[in-house]
Amino acid sequence: MDIGGIREAMHQQPFRPFELRLADGRAILIRHPDFIMVAGNNRRIAVFAPPDDAMMIIEPLLIVSIDFPPPAPAAPGSNGTGGASG
């Protein structure tokens, strides 16, 4: 994977969560830009991944794609138009 594409995803404004798809089929969700770091030499990526925010060191060559999941739908009533009436 091109490290420039990873950096672009990390620094987009506003930030959008994204997934790193690895060659072994795993998908690692990046929920916030503070949860990913590219080493200065571009040879390693450190990720703090859910559910327990364990740290992983990833070789950029093992990343096959960056995916942007669709935003989660709003919960009913979260915009002030739902809930009990009366």
Asked, for residue 25, whether it belongs to a domain, the answer is yes
Output the pLDDT for position 57.
94
Give the domain range for residue 9: 3-67
Asked, for residue 28, whether it belongs to a domain, the answer is yes
Q: State pLDDT tens for residues 4-52.
A: 999 999 999 999 999 999 999 999 999 999 999 999 888 999 999 777 8
Number of domains in the chain: 1
Token output for 10: 């990390």
Q: What is the CATH number of the domain that holds 23?
A: 2.30.30
CA distance 71 to 58: 26
| Statement: residue 70 has pLDDT above 90 | no
Output the pLDDT for position 71.
78
Asked, for residue 85, whether it belongs to a domain, the answer is no
Output the pLDDT for position 2.
85
Asked, for residue 78, whether it belongs to a domain, the answer is no
Asked, for residue 75, whether it belongs to a domain, the answer is no
| Statement: residue 54 has pLDDT above 80 | yes
Asked, for residue 84, whether it belongs to a domain, the answer is no
Asked, for residue 73, whether it belongs to a domain, the answer is no
